[in-house]
Structure 1
């Protein structure tokens, strides 16, 4: 089958979803009000609460939620065949992710920009809030610790990417000043930023920087992890307009250019999908497609981490409530487009079926490597760009996305510690610097405490990321659904995704529980039990909260 057919079908469906379905959700269900005074204006402080142009905010939101996950998940899931991955990415984006992301922004904006964790206590109850805060902390711990390992690995393996990855930070600092101080128009700033970023990508292969294998007794990989967390700590304390917004905005533009390049190469090359639609000859040890597909492809279809970004940083920068549709729903569409690109690169970017099979020798194989190698193959054959340059382009894209997610993730983890300070009346924990140190310390404790001197400890608990992340998405949808019930609005559009996620998450946790037991992995077995209990409690809280809300509405109507 031609990859062009899949490309056209996927993009057309997502475009229809944004133009039609998101309009219906925004106007009839969430009823976004252009005159509502958003927290960005009400609590404007120039640091976290900053009214922001919707295009700039979309760049921040999209690149923060994207990261490397919408590349890794789909590029692993095609081991079951391209069709299941394609269908889940497309329909998950339209009916799950867009509704979830825009809804999380709306719910937070309507409640003084509270994070979805804090909001749970007001909307659902204190028990649900306690569960939520634990799940949120685990997800952020996984994301921050693992993405540091991913970025460090990319810079160790692709020395040509070091200059573009770190040079992008300097570009963002300049862009931030130009935008915030309105020294140039946004289109002009965008052109300058993109040209500078791609100039760095062009320079990268000529100035490769390689970290020594060992520095002061630490591996080069560990040194990069420490540097990354040092940078992320500083970035999380800076006002959002200084680095976070412009870095994410420029990366968002870079993504679309990268997608245009990759999609254009597909059109010109017209590659064939060498992978089967359904792979009936999966490697030994590969788990069943159902329900693992729905937790393997988290970001790219629906992700609980998106709710954290939506209610953690995005809601504090939303200038008009109606912007939630563009920023939230279209942000999910952008991630769906990236996931679609990952599927095409990982299934059509190989010369033969045998080459594809060589990449997918076991479950968990593929991921970023399949995306970079497959995408570089397509770009080289479609556009004539040297494969090394194309690989650098795609590597920098993945590293920059992972970096922006890590920036936002550490800021969100700082918010969690500050919220715990408010909940338990601990004034010292509310201080940004101390909360940031606690966030960094917990990540480093996992990275080096569980992983040893190379700092790869986050990878140990990564197998549970998908299920924990989807549980978080279910909790966010629960908050949105209860709010809709209390407002006497249709809840079916959030209740169906909520129930689906809970069923798939609990089923996946049970399968993983058996797998960890058979492997004798006590640590993951215990952690799986903790998450499974949390999932069951969430299901019970769902039923209880919805029942109470219906009763309250019925009482008011009498």
Structure 2
């Protein structure tokens, strides 16, 4: 079948979700108020609390949540066939991710921009907050450590991407000054920024950059990881308007241009989807599609990490409460569109089924390689672009998104340490610099302590990312649902996704537990048990919190 059909059905469904379903959720369920004074105005400090144009904030939110995961997850999951991955991405975006993301922003804004971890203590209870903080820390540790490894490998595999990836930071710094210091209009700045970024992408292959085979005894992979975390530490301490906002905004525009090019190439070249609709001949060792499909594809359908960004940084920059619909729900649509592109590239970017099967010879293969190679094949066929330039464009797209996620993720991890400092009355931990150093140290301990001199230790716990991430999404939906119950509003639209996620997460954790035991992987087995216990506690807290909330709502209605 033609990939054009997937493109039209997928984007058409997501567009309908935004224009129809998100309006209903915003007006009837969350009841967003344009006159509500948001924390960005109430606590404006020019560093973290900054009222922000909704288009710029959308760029920050979207690119912060759309790291490499919405590419990696779908590009792995198509091993079960393109149809299950396609349906989960489209339906998940419409009914799960958009509701979750916009709801997390709303919940935080209504509670002085507190993080969803802090909110859990107030809305659900102290025990739930303790569980939540552990899950949040694990997710951030996985995201930051793994994305550092992913970006390093991308830069090593495609040296032509080094100049545009790092040049994008300089472009973002200039854009921040032009918008906030020079007060130049967003339209002109956007055009200049996109042109500069794509000029760097075109130039990049001509000036490839490689690190020496050994620097102070460290491999290129290890050196890139250290450089990336050094940059992320500095970026996380800067005021959001200096680098975070403009970098995320220009990356968001870059993604749309990249998606337009890729989708345009699909329409022109009309490639054939060579992967099977449902793969009944999966390679030996491939786990069951149910329930692992729903944790393999997290980002791109629904992701708990989004709730951390929504309540950690986005809620502090929301100009009007009604902007939560555009920033949150449309941000989820943007990530869904990226996941859809990954599915098309990983299923239609090959000349034949045999070529596809050569890449997908075992579970876990494909991933970024399938996206970059398959997408480059489609771009070259549809636009006439040179394969090297096309591959660089897609590599830069993946690396920039992973980089912006690291920027935001490290900032959020710093917030977690600062919150622990407040909870346990540790004065020095409340300060930004020590909390940032602790965040970087914990990621590097995982990367180098578990992975050795190569620094790839973060990949060891990646198999648990999907389940931990979906558990986090369930916790966020629990907070939102309890708030809705207390306000006497319908809860079906958040409670339904919450129950579905908890069931799939518990089933996936049990399946992984058996797999880790059989492989005698005691490190992952121990972590799996920690997450499994957390999932059970969350389920119990869900029932207890909802009962309390309904009881309180009934008492108020009687009185």
In the superposition, the TM-score normalised over structure 2's length comes to 1.00
C-alpha separation in 1, matches of 2:267 and 2:432? 49
Answering whether residue 9 of structure 2 is matched by residue 2 of structure 1, we say no
Q: Tell me, in whole angstroms, the C-alpha distance in 1 between the residues paired with 2:165 and 2:236.
A: 18
Match of 1:469 in 2: 469
Matched, 1:548 2:553: no
1:302 CA drift (Å): 0.1
Q: 1: CA distance between counterparts of 2:197 and 2:380?
A: 21
Q: Does 2:351 align with 1:329?
A: no
Which residue does 1:46 correspond to in 2?
46
Post-superposition Cα deviations, 1:368-424, rounded to whole Å, max 9, x if no partner, equal: 100000000001011111111100000000000000000000000000000001111
Report Cα offsets for 1:512-548 as digits up to 9, x if no partner: 0000000000000011011000000000000000001
Equivalent residue runs for 1:364-513 within 5 Å: 364-513=364-513
Alignment match, 1:171: 171
Structure 1 residue 163, shift from structure 2 partner: 0.4
Which residue does the alignment assign to 2:93? 93
Q: For the aligned residues, what is the CA RMSD?
A: 0.5
Write the distance in 1 (CA, Å) between the matches of 2:467 and 2:486. Answer: 29
1:145 corresponds to:
145
Change (3 A) 1:37 1:182: farther
Q: Distance in 2 between matches of 1:13 and 1:220?
A: 43
1:95 deviates by 0.1
CA distance in 2 between partners of 1:162 and 1:548 (Å): 54
**What is the Cα deviation at residue 367 of structure 1?**
0.7
Q: Distance in 2 between matches of 1:441 and 1:522?
A: 24
The structural deviation recorded for 1:182 is 4.2
Question: Using the alignment, how far apart are the partners of 1:221 and 1:230 within structure 2?
Answer: 14
Give 1:502 shift: 0.1
| Aligned equivalent of 1:73 | 73
Matched residue, 1:111: 111
Structure 1 ranges of 4+ moved more than 2 A: none
1:23-38 equivalences in 2 (<5 Å): 23-38=23-38
Residue 257 of structure 1: aligned partner: 257
1:135-160 Cα offsets, whole Å, 9 max, x none, are: 00000000000000000001111100
Deviations 1:90-134 (A, max 9, x none): 000000000000000000000000000000000000000000000
Aligned counterparts of 2:277 and 2:358: Cα–Cα separation in 1: 17
Shift of 1:183: 3.2
Quote the Cα distance in structure 2 between the aligned partners of 1:478 and 1:253: 33
The aligned residue for residue 235 of structure 2 is 235
- How far apart in 2 are the matches of 1:14 and 1:554? 37
- How far apart are the structure 1 equivalents of 2:554 and 2:324? 30
Q: Distance in 2 between matches of 1:524 and 1:416?
A: 23
Separation of aligned partners in 2, 1:191 and 1:521: 51
Give the Cα–Cα distance (whole angstroms) in 2 for the partners of residues 202 and 550 of structure 1. Answer: 58
Residue in structure 2 matched with residue 286 of structure 1 by the alignment: 286
1:550 Cα deviation after fit: 0.6
CA distance in 2, matches of 1:183, 1:146: 37
Separation (CA, whole Å) in 2 of partners of 1:84 and 1:229: 36
Instruction: Report the 3-state secondary structure (helix = DSSP H, G, I; strand = E; otherwise coil) of the residue aligned with 1:218.
Output: coil
**Equivalent in the alignment of 2:212:** 212
CA displacement 1:465-520 (0-9 Å, x = unmatched):
00000000000000000000000000000000000000000000000000000000
- Correspondence for 1:527: 527
* Residue number in structure 1 paired with 2:307: 307
CA distance in 1 between counterparts of 2:72 and 2:378 reads 18
Task: Tell me the equivalent position of 1:222.
Answer: 222
Q: Distance in 1 between matches of 2:44 and 2:183?
A: 21
2-structure distance, mates of 1:377, 1:173:
33
Distance 2:350 2:308 in 1: 36
- Displacement of 1:319 in angstroms is 0.3
Partners of 2:499 and 2:180 lie apart in 1 by 43
* Higher mean C-alpha displacement, 87-96 vs 178-187: 178-187
Deviation at 1:425, TM superposition (A): 1.1
- Taking the aligned partners of 1:495 and 1:323, their CA distance within structure 2 comes to 23
Q: Which residue of the partner structure matches residue 192 of structure 1?
A: 192
Gaps of 5+ in 1: none
